[in-house]
Amino acid sequence: MAKAAKSSKKPKEAKSKPMKRPLKSASPKTSKPKSSKGSRSAPAQAGRQTANARGQASLDLGIIGNGTINALIDARGRIVWHCVPAFDGDPVFCSLLSPKLGDTGFFDIALENETGRRQHYVDNSAVLVTVLTAKDGSEVEITDFAPRYKLHERTYHPMQILRRVRPLSGSPRIAIRLRPLTGYGARKPVHTFGSNHVRFMLDPLVLRVTGDAQLPMLRDELPFLLDRPVHMVLGTDETLQESAGHYFDEALNATLAYWHEWSRYLSIPAEWQEAVIRAAITLKLCQYEGTGAIVAAMTTSIPEAPDTVRTWDYRYCWPRDAALSVRALNRLSATRTMEEYVRYIFNLAVKDDRMAPVYGIHFQDELPEREEATLAGYRGMGPVRVGNEAWRQQQNDIYGSVVLAATQLFCDKRLVRIGDETEFRRLERCGEAAWRLHDQPDAGLWELRGRKSVHTYSAVMCWVACDRLANIAEWLKLGERAKFWRKRADHIHKLVLKRAVHKDGYFVESFGSNDLDASLLLLEGLRFVSADDPRFVKTVEAIGKTLVRDGFLLRYAQPDDFGAPKTSFMVCNFWYVEALIAIGRQDEARQLFEKLLAMRNPLGLLSEDLDPGRRELWGNFPQTYSLVGLINAARGLSTKWSDVV
């Protein structure tokens, strides 16, 4: 069940608990990221800087996180989005969505007479560094991260954000401005304080900020001369049993060591290494460690386009999106994400024969949608929604997505535990549902709210469920079950070829339709057709002629429940890149890929949508779909390592 609306009743003060010390670790190098050494990456970097100069400032955000919580930080080092106690919780910092209480809902370090800013991640990590410059040349450096490292033979990832601000040059004067809200921006929380901390009485919990700055500076926003580093620990109401500086340093070193080790074993392409590593780390941050769920994005209600009501809450797990995330990380050899996600999805699959298109990160199968009037919305463009009515829809592709995400579990010899017949029998329930629904109308992967059709992509994903189950049965030497599922897969395959091919020889978006949509670009990658199949080649060509606007691809052109789409769906462009590669148009694919890389924000991240004319990012952020597309396209295009070293 979905969580009920939060109560406005103040919680009682909890008794403070001692905080665990982090594991000691050697200090890794913390330099700025280097540019990719591949000669073909340079144009993308230059193009990205130009695009940002044209006005992507509003989504120039970085993400930090650890699998329990995350935060979005803007170019001036302001935390503008942070939900507690988990990804789908109340945003204690919500200035990204314009709280109506005014200049509040954030946590920043205000540098007096600030005139410049720059930002980067520490190489191959989720540690973000922001440098602010004052008019007189004074500089301060803000370092932000969420602790994540090995401790007591498990991964330590508390509900905690660590910040350090230190002077780099001159005599900078700063103010620490800590302005949380509670109840989705409805109220300023009551706060108490001690000798070195401030406690905020939020609706769901008590938030404590412990620091080594003098209390008036932390509590009252008094400006002061920054002549030494200041450290702050933001998290649950636990007593810090050591100095904030010592805790920060040890946690930073251990967290950097964790991310450097994780990145080291990625099987990345020879080209665009920096872009792929950043995308992979961000995908990892989008998995909720408590259950294994992978969210579509960290935010709610960033519009798909300016002045539209297409504002949705993406802080939940769509098995379709998650399956693609798992496949992308598997291809990079980050297989643990798959194992954790399969655990999550099996918990859902055993509950009911019918699976919903979207679930909460804590296994909620109902996500009632409501609007929060206390938040005006991104750039004042509401409504702000909590929950997502897609849980009520029928989307028949979901069953194939579940089977697809789990398939590698049965054949990857690197895994400690290979899938067995027990897991196979669980997946067969998804296969039965796919067989039952393969020729039935649904809302489709675009989640149309006003009409249903027998969507080609949904039917193909039902084929995927049966096809992969046949493969798994063969690996497990279950001969009769392999024949059973192969027969069903063959039946669906023939039906799609009969009902979903236009008289001119290309696939259409639904049975009997004349329309196209970008999901048809996936048919070759799903192995439904071969790359040289004339029907697929004609489909790619038709989509290029029909759906491209200002050089970028729409997901579909026909009007839906809310009118005609205005923005390009970012992942569709990467699908187009992969399809162009498949049919041999490599140069065209590379040109488009470089153009897409140029649309990333300065930290290498992508949202859901792109305004083709203004070259501006829109939609929820960071979008896992878009990052998956980047990874897959880079792998398909890159020069082989054997040709480089």
Q: How confident is the model at residue 350 (pLDDT cuts 50, 70, 90)?
A: low
56: enclosing H helix or E strand: none
Q: Does residue 13 register a pLDDT over 50?
A: no
Looking at the structure, tell me whether residues 313 and 177 fall in a common domain.
no
Mean pLDDT of 468-483: 97
Per-residue pLDDT of 395-430, as tens digits, reads: 999 999 999 989 998 998 888 789 999 999 999 999
State the CB neighbour count (10 A cutoff) for residue 501: 17
Q: How confident is the model at residue 574 (pLDDT cuts 50, 70, 90)?
A: very high
Q: What are phi and psi of 632, to 5 degrees?
A: -65, -40
Please give the Cα distance from 391 to 369 (Å, whole number).
10
> If DSSP codes are grouped into helix, strand and coil, which group holds residue 352?
coil
| pLDDT at site 185 | 97
Judge whether 1 lies within some domain: no
Per-residue pLDDT of 40-80, as tens digits, reads: 333 333 333 333 333 334 699 999 999 999 999 999 999 99
Pick 330 or 166 by higher pLDDT. 166
Could you check whether the bond before residue 383 is cis, i.e. omega within 30 degrees of 0? yes
State the CB neighbour count (10 A cutoff) for residue 451: 11
Pairing of strands 17-18, 238-239: parallel
Judge whether 124 lies within some domain: yes
Distances (CA, A) of 600 to 134, 298, 466, 478, 596: 27, 17, 37, 47, 7
Q: Does residue 462 register a pLDDT over 70?
A: yes
Half-sphere exposure at residue 497, Cβ-oriented, CA atoms within 13 angstroms: 12
Please give the Cα distance from 59 to 70 (Å, whole number).
16
| pLDDT at site 241 | 87
Q: Does residue 8 register a pLDDT over 50?
A: no
Packed helices 319-331 and 336-349: angle between N→C axes, nearest 10 degrees: 160
Residues ≥6 apart with Cβ < 8 Å to 102: none
Mean pLDDT of 277-306: 96
Token couple for 180:
């949380």
Q: How confident is the model at residue 153 (pLDDT cuts 50, 70, 90)?
A: confident
Q: Does residue 157 register a pLDDT over 70?
A: yes
| pLDDT at site 7 | 33
Please give the Cα distance from 236 to 624 (Å, whole number).
28
Q: Does residue 12 register a pLDDT over 80?
A: no
For residue 579, the domain's CATH number is: 1.50.10.10
Judge whether 44 lies within some domain: no
| pLDDT at site 38 | 36
Looking at the structure, tell me whether residues 218 and 317 fall in a common domain.
no
Q: Does residue 34 register a pLDDT over 70?
A: no
| pLDDT at site 473 | 97
Closest C-alpha among 311, 304, 296, 300 to residue 564: 304
Pick 255 or 549 by higher pLDDT. 255
Judge whether 443 lies within some domain: yes
Q: Does residue 24 register a pLDDT over 60?
A: no
* Range(s) of the domain holding residue 309: 277-637
Q: How confident is the model at residue 565 (pLDDT cuts 50, 70, 90)?
A: confident
Per-residue pLDDT of 422-431, as tens digits, reads: 999 999 999 9
Looking at the structure, tell me whether residues 168 and 313 fall in a common domain.
no
Judge whether 271 lies within some domain: no
Average pLDDT of the chain is 89
Please give the Cα distance from 270 to 641 (Å, whole number).
5
Looking at the structure, tell me whether residues 352 and 448 fall in a common domain.
yes
| pLDDT at site 352 | 66
Judge whether 51 lies within some domain: no
**Contact of 505 with 535, CB cutoff 8 Å:** yes
Q: Does residue 324 register a pLDDT over 80?
A: yes
Judge whether 8 lies within some domain: no
Class of residue 54 by CB neighbours under 10 A (exposed 0-12, middle 13-18, buried 19+): exposed
Judge whether 40 lies within some domain: no
Q: How many distinct structural domains can be found in the chain? A: 2
Q: Does residue 201 register a pLDDT over 60?
A: yes
Looking at the structure, tell me whether residues 377 and 519 fall in a common domain.
yes
pLDDT above 90 covers what percent of the chain? Answer: 74
Residues ≥6 apart with Cβ < 8 Å to 642: none
Looking at the structure, tell me whether residues 435 and 318 fall in a common domain.
yes
Q: State which of 191, 221, 243 marks the end of a domain.
A: 243
Distances (CA, A) of 475 to 407, 411, 461, 481: 11, 7, 21, 11
| pLDDT at site 2 | 34
| pLDDT at site 447 | 80
Pairing of strands 230-236, 197-201: unpaired
Looking at the structure, tell me whether residues 81 and 138 fall in a common domain.
yes
* DSSP conformation class of 340: H
Mean pLDDT of 434-458: 90
Looking at the structure, tell me whether residues 148 and 291 fall in a common domain.
no
Per-residue pLDDT of 82-93, as tens digits, reads: 999 999 999 999
Per-residue pLDDT of 625-638, as tens digits, reads: 999 999 999 999 99
Q: Does residue 18 register a pLDDT over 70?
A: no
Looking at the structure, tell me whether residues 493 and 372 fall in a common domain.
yes
Distances (CA, A) of 461 to 89, 91, 409, 547: 32, 36, 19, 23
State the CB neighbour count (10 A cutoff) for residue 31: 9
| pLDDT at site 52 | 39
Looking at the structure, tell me whether residues 163 and 307 fall in a common domain.
no
Q: State which of 195, 225, 243 marks the end of a domain.
A: 243
Q: Does residue 554 register a pLDDT over 60?
A: yes
Handedness of CA 120, 122, 128, 131 (dihedral sign): negative
Q: Does residue 372 register a pLDDT over 90?
A: yes
Looking at the structure, tell me whether residues 221 and 298 fall in a common domain.
no
Looking at the structure, tell me whether residues 196 and 288 fall in a common domain.
no
